Amino acid sequence: MYGDPALPPDFVALPYVNADAPTGGTLVDGNTGGFDSLNPFIVRGTPPWQLRFLTHESLMYRSQDEPFTVYGLLAESVETGPNRDWVEFTLRPEARFSDGAPVTAEDVIWSYETLGTEGNARYLGLWSSIDRIEKTGPRKVRLTFKTENRELALVAGLLPILKKAQWDDKDFTKSGLTDIPVGSAPYVVDSFVAGRNVVLKRDPNYWGKDLPVRRGTNNIDTIRIEFYGDQNVLFEAFKAGNISFIREFNAEKWARDYDFPAVQRGDVIQTEIPSQRPSGITGFVMNTRRAPFDDIRVRDALIHAFNFEYINETITGGRQPRITSYFSHSNLSMQPGPATGRVKELLEPFASELPEGALEGYALPEGDGSARNRKNLALAAAELEAAGWGVENGKRVNAAGQPLTFNILLRQGDQQNQSIIDIYLKALERLGIEARVTTVDDAQYTMRIQDFDFDMTDIRRQFSLSPGNEQRLYWGTETADEPGSRNLMGLKSAAADAMIDAMLQSRSAEDFTSAVRALDRVLTSGRYVIPIFLFDTGRIAHVKDLTWSGKIPIYGDGVNFMPETWYFAGK
């Protein structure tokens, strides 16, 4: 995106892999809930989330050690126009699907068109930005874009490529377990037991095993994904030796609960991998499509009522800091105090519609660490009064006498969020607010999220150091009411849209950083999410034979690092 790739044209392997890693072994992964589909690219159904990373690949490969660089995968070369208003990919002649059929320009064009019009909402943004897609040679595909968006030339190469012929006379959008999409990646679905497990095998004839971006990766022969009723059952299965690894997101549990016999014997290792990625946003999102969350004063009151300092001490022993903005823990985060320089220039045209604090400066309220949190509850009560929510007989009501009530949607077995909400409910009760919790299984949760059928629910959005077009999916006006959209809060903000545009049109790293910092101000000061813990360290407990190179890329905590670059020692 800016400057040259870090690796030379003749690089032989990615710098963070063991290029000579042994292959073999079986890795058992654990999911909660179940699955009723093996197509991870459509809106319907609940597939194992790992499939789209393991069974399909794209024209280009994103390095885990560079924020703005992609290297050739299915594509052997890439060319862009001087203004990056078009990009042309040339396919490798040796590229093959798992059934041996060559990957063709027709497959690429069909994949872009089909995913863009019939696939998951995550693909809508790219497709809506493409003016035309055409075959320009036997192995060449050119995409011409509608608008100035310099990142499109990179992200256009990251769409999964599917086999067109597989779907002749079939409904691509139909969910189920009958049609397993054919991909070109190192793994193929070998078998499954509906709702219980999926087994993937490493393709011995995988076409790309000798590519520089693939050397030392995808070393494990078999990956079995087992499904459990909830996170507690999954953890017990790991302790019993039925799962090869587990990611732990609670620092207190990491310190407290990993003293079981397998750890004491040295059969299970606890590995901590520091992350250099931005914090992203993790917490509880409010659905502004519904009252009373369409009123920023109510949202601000609910944020003040959330006693993070006390919750953090109770849940994690105070071991995890709080997310302070959407891009905190990085140089992309909004800076303290009033907006200045280029950030101010970007925001000022929208001054009349910006939330309070976007220009002036905003910081999350801090509690005193006590259980009562009196000061912040008093501020919350004042905000609610200003929004027209008074108190009658101990209940918070509006002028019409209607009580302030809402529902919090959680997944079954989500013990940590349930524990957090249990504490939060007590604070809401003191404000006269009646909040209820509904827990549903994974399938129901997915359906309700896709239909925006919630008042408040949990949210987690991870970002890279090169945020781009995916920001439209998360916060863009265009997708706010699109079923399956990832814009959970229903944000419709001309300012946010403009900051994303400025970010995508940036021609220097400095302009890019200013645009992201401006977007961060709009999102954070909009009070859409109650942020919780910052996951600044990846915590992976794993069987002792499962290991890695020890070289940490900037995204070393991500799923494209583990298990992709890990391996079984001695196998």
For 12-57, the pLDDT digits (tens) are 999 999 999 999 999 999 999 889 999 999 988 889 999 999 999 9
pLDDT band with cut points at 50, 70 and 90 for residue 558: low
pLDDT band with cut points at 50, 70 and 90 for residue 536: confident
Q: Specify whether the CB–CB gap between 80 and 3 falls below 8 A.
A: no
What span, in angstroms and rounded, lies between the C-alpha atoms of 51 and 60? 18
For residue 36, count other CB atoms closer than 10 A to its CB.
16
Query: Average pLDDT in the 359-384 region?
Result: 95
Helix locations, 216-278, DSSP H? 231-239, 251-256, 261-265
Q: Specify whether the CB–CB gap between 376 and 307 falls below 8 A.
A: yes
What span, in angstroms and rounded, lies between the C-alpha atoms of 235 and 165? 42
What span, in angstroms and rounded, lies between the C-alpha atoms of 307 and 368? 9
User: What is residue 464's predicted lDDT score, i.e. its pLDDT?
Assistant: 85
Backbone angles phi, psi at 40, to 5 degrees: -85, 10
User: What is residue 274's predicted lDDT score, i.e. its pLDDT?
Assistant: 85
Distance from chain centroid for Cα 55:
19
The torsion angle over the Cα atoms of residues 349, 350, 356 and 357, rounded to 10 degrees, is: -50
> Angle between the 308-316 and 415-430 helix axes, to the nearest 10 degrees?
150
Query: Average pLDDT in the 131-151 region?
Result: 94
What span, in angstroms and rounded, lies between the C-alpha atoms of 218 and 232? 29
Name the percent of the chain lying above pLDDT 70. 99
pLDDT in tens, 426-440: 999 999 999 999 999
Query: Average pLDDT in the 277-287 region?
Result: 95
Q: Specify whether the CB–CB gap between 24 and 220 falls below 8 A.
A: yes
pLDDT at residue 302 tops 90? yes
What span, in angstroms and rounded, lies between the C-alpha atoms of 66 and 141? 26
Q: DSSP letter at 265? A: H
pLDDT at residue 140 tops 60? yes
User: What is residue 121's predicted lDDT score, i.e. its pLDDT?
Assistant: 80
pLDDT in tens, 433-489: 999 999 999 889 989 999 999 999 999 998 888 898 889 989 999 989 988 889 999
Domain 281-531 has CATH 3.40.50.150: no
Contacts of 247 (CB under 8 A, 6+ apart): 538, 539, 540
- Alpha-carbon distances of 282 from 122, 278, 322, 530, 534, rounded to whole Å: 19, 12, 10, 8, 8
Domain assignments of the chain as residue spans, ordered by start: 24-227+537-568, 281-531
What span, in angstroms and rounded, lies between the C-alpha atoms of 397 and 39? 46
pLDDT in tens, 89-100: 999 999 999 999
User: What is residue 537's predicted lDDT score, i.e. its pLDDT?
Assistant: 84
Identify residue 69 by its one-letter amino acid code. Answer: T
pLDDT band with cut points at 50, 70 and 90 for residue 242: very high
Q: Specify whether the CB–CB gap between 476 and 497 falls below 8 A.
A: yes
Handedness of CA 443, 449, 450, 454 (dihedral sign): positive
pLDDT in tens, 328-340: 999 999 999 999 9
For residue 430, count other CB atoms closer than 10 A to its CB.
16
Identify residue 125 by its one-letter amino acid code. Answer: G
Query: Average pLDDT in the 233-239 region?
Result: 96
Backbone angles phi, psi at 337, to 5 degrees: 85, -170
pLDDT in tens, 57-108: 999 999 989 988 999 999 999 999 988 999 999 999 999 999 999 999 999 9
pLDDT at residue 571 tops 60? no
Helix locations, 272-373, DSSP H? 296-305, 308-316, 341-347
pTM, entire model: 0.76
- The mean pLDDT value of the chain amounts to 94
Q: Specify whether the CB–CB gap between 364 and 531 falls below 8 A.
A: yes
What span, in angstroms and rounded, lies between the C-alpha atoms of 506 and 439? 43
What span, in angstroms and rounded, lies between the C-alpha atoms of 17 and 218? 11
Burial annotation 484-496 (CB, 10 A radius, 16+ → b, else e): bbbbbbbbbbebb
Backbone angles phi, psi at 279, to 5 degrees: -60, -30
Domain 24-227+537-568 has CATH 2.160.10.10: no
Give the tokens for residue 419.
Answer: 């524990």
Three-state SS for 157? helix
Lowest-confidence region among 106-115, 323-332, 352-361, 562-571: 562-571
User: What is residue 149's predicted lDDT score, i.e. its pLDDT?
Assistant: 85
What span, in angstroms and rounded, lies between the C-alpha atoms of 508 and 138? 35
- Tell me the CB-side half-sphere exposure of residue 167, using CA atoms within 13 A: 20
Distance from chain centroid for Cα 375:
35
End-to-end C-alpha distance for the chain, whole angstroms: 39
User: What is residue 500's predicted lDDT score, i.e. its pLDDT?
Assistant: 95
The torsion angle over the Cα atoms of residues 505, 509, 513 and 514, rounded to 10 degrees, is: -70
Q: Specify whether the CB–CB gap between 37 and 176 falls below 8 A.
A: yes
pLDDT at residue 362 tops 60? yes
